């Protein structure tokens, strides 16, 4: 069984089967933007539903949906206006623009691949000590890191590039009307903390969860859905009494790891990466990384953020953001544990992990390659495919009846074209966990076969039991 060692097969499958298309492809596409097709939108929804259930089907977390455009002071308070930037460097020959830290890391990776581990190690040591843009520039020049486009080292200085997209509200486009497309969903939660706490009658510890689009004008977009300019995040801020941050951080780092494995992701493809350099306000931070075909990449960050964010909003808005215990008169600004995961990055991790090519018996002494998405059944875009063996002898009628029954509960596909083996392959490729075949026996004894995607085993069940059998499988953890 082979899994992915490059993104190419996945990109091709994603387009061919309607998971993901390039945004505005007929105009040549727009860099860093992707559209989810009929199957992709279902998989993405199922991932978001799994997160929403894990977060809000419990007593201490509620959800919100804040607007994308927020008061511009929000982003001054959060530090994004001043600091949400990446170091950028331009090559004067090719005019190509790069993120300076990525340029260095990619070069170190190439050195490592060539066996020049001493060079890679020297770079790693220097990178760990970087404090300023000038340090990054010095590394690029000292190691004569060339532009991948022109091959020259004809570089500009390293400068900061703010990643927020800005636009204007109202008809007058002046400084006073500037607003930003949110670069993260978290601030919508912080500014609503008091409203939510009071209206939902909550007291710390409690959490607020949100799923929504975020926008970052990334310098380089690459690796398909990994780094895009428009993406979806699923964030939860957990508000706690000061002094309990250690235990809650530990709790959430365990919970979030367990969530990824509950999606069916192989735990050997996951790792924890504690932050080596913490932000000045942070008490602890850890990323969960997934082993993509291009290497390890962050999918989620779990951060212990003290009362930094609420204090800043208190200062900038002039409004108290405290919890007051009416009985004891105790008052405090809650501390926060944040869990921040990309829905679209998780989508990609789930697809990468599910993608498998395997050699199977072709039936006549030959072998054939079967491509199968081994998605957890509850995540699969289509739950069941109904396949009448032939288009006569009462089979289409029985199949249509079953289709009508099943699609009250699940997404169902119906396929009559081609040999049954080919129809199974088509469903395997998009990860449909159950294929239900209507055959000659169905009309005489009311039974059908359910063929299971991963084992390719078939079981015969009564038509009346199909929904229950599938429903039980979907509920399995």
Q: Which residues make up the interface to ligand ATP (CB under 6 A)? A: 184, 216, 218, 227-228, 231, 233, 298-301, 340-342, 344-345
CB of 450 to ligand ATP, least distance (A): 36
DSSP E strands: which ranges in 216-266? 230-240
Query: Whose CA is closest to 473, among 428, 432, 413, 439?
Result: 432
8 A C-beta contact, residue 143 and residue 40: no
CB of 109 to ligand ATP, least distance (A): 16
CB of 245 to ligand ATP, least distance (A): 18
**Distance separating alpha carbons of residues 321 and 328, to the nearest angstrom:** 18
Which of residues 158 and 384 has its CB atom nearest to ligand ATP in the complex?
158
**Omega before 207 cis (within 30°)?**
no
DSSP reduced 3-state for 410: coil
Tell me the chain's radius of gyration from C-alpha atoms: 26
Residue nearest to ligand ATP (CB): 342
Q: What is the DSSP letter of 154?
A: -
Neighbours of 364 (CB within 10 A): 5
Q: CA-based angle 420:423:426, to the nearest 5? A: 155
Which of residues 227 and 312 has its CB atom nearest to ligand ATP in the complex?
227
CB of 53 to ligand ATP, least distance (A): 19
Query: Whose CA is closest to 196, among 182, 206, 187?
Result: 206
Which of residues 163 and 461 has its CB atom nearest to ligand ATP in the complex?
163
Q: Which residues pair with 452 in a beta bridge?
A: 434
The dihedrals phi and psi of 198, each to the nearest 5 degrees, come to -75, -45
CB of 254 to ligand ATP, least distance (A): 18
Query: Whose CA is closest to 403, among 423, 386, 389?
Result: 386
**Distance separating alpha carbons of residues 413 and 386, to the nearest angstrom:** 6
CB of 301 to ligand ATP, least distance (A): 4
Which of residues 341 and 389 has its CB atom nearest to ligand ATP in the complex?
341
Which of residues 345 and 423 has its CB atom nearest to ligand ATP in the complex?
345
**Distance separating alpha carbons of residues 389 and 438, to the nearest angstrom:** 6
CB of 362 to ligand ATP, least distance (A): 40
CB of 193 to ligand ATP, least distance (A): 19
8 A C-beta contact, residue 146 and residue 153: yes
Which of residues 84 and 107 has its CB atom nearest to ligand ATP in the complex?
84
Which of residues 232 and 428 has its CB atom nearest to ligand ATP in the complex?
232
**Distance separating alpha carbons of residues 223 and 293, to the nearest angstrom:** 9
Which of residues 39 and 341 has its CB atom nearest to ligand ATP in the complex?
341
């Amino acid at each position: 069984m082979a899994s992915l060692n490059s993104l190419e097969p996945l990109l091709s499958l994603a387009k061919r089967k309607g998971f993901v298309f390039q945004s505005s492809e007929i105009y040549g596409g727009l860099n860093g933007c992707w559209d989810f097709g009929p199957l992709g939108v279902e998989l993405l929804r199922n991932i978001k539903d799994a997160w929403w259930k894990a977060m809000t089907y419990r007593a201490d977390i509620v959800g919100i949906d804040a607007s994308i455009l927020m008061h511009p002071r929000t982003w001054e308070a959060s530090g994004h206006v001043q600091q949400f930037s990446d170091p950028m460097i331009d090559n004067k020959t090719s005019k190509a623009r790069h993120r300076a830290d990525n340029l260095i890391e990619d070069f170190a990776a190439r050195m490592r691949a060539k066996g020049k581990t001493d060079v890679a190690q020297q770079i790693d040591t220097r990178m760990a000590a970087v404090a300023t843009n000038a340090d990054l520039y010095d590394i690029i020049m000292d190691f004569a890191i060339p532009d991948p486009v022109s091959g020259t080292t004809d570089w500009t200085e390293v400068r900061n590039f703010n990643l927020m997209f800005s636009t204007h509200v109202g008809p007058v486009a002046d400084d006073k009307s500037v607003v930003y497309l949110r670069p993260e969903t978290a601030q919508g939660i912080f500014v609503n903390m008091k409203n939510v706490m009071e209206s939902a009658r909550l007291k710390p510890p409690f959490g607020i969860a949100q799923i929504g689009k975020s926008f970052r004008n990334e310098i380089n977009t690459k690796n398909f859905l990994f780094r895009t300019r428009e993406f979806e995040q699923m964030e939860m801020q957990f508000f706690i009494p000061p002094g309990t941050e250690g235990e809650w951080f530990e709790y959430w780092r365990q919970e979030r790891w367990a969530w990824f494995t509950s999606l069916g992701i192989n735990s050997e493809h996951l790792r924890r990466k504690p932050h080596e350099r913490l932000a000045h306000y942070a008490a602890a931070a850890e990323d969960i990384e997934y082993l993509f075909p291009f290497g390890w990449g962050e999918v989620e960050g779990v951060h212990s953020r003290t009362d930094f964010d609420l204090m800043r909003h208190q200062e900038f808005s002039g409004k108290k953001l405290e919890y007051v215990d009416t009985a004891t008169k105790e008052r405090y600004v809650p501390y926060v544990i944040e869990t921040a995961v990309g829905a679209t990055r998780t989508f990609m991790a789930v697809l990468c992990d599910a993608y498998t090519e395997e050699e199977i018996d072709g039936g006549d002494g030959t072998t054939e390659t079967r491509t199968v998405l081994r998605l957890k059944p509850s995540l699969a875009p289509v739950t069941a495919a109904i396949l009448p063996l032939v288009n006569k002898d009462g089979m289409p009628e029985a199949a249509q009846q079953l289709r009508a029954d099943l699609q009250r509960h699940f997404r169902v596909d119906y396929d009559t074209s081609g040999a049954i083996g080919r129809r199974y392959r088509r469903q395997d490729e998009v990860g449909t966990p159950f294929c239900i075949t209507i055959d000659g026996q169905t009309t005489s004894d009311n039974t059908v076969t359910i063929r299971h995607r991963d084992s390719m085993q078939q079981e015969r069940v009564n038509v009346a039991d199909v929904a229950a059998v599938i429903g039980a499988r979907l509920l399995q953890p």
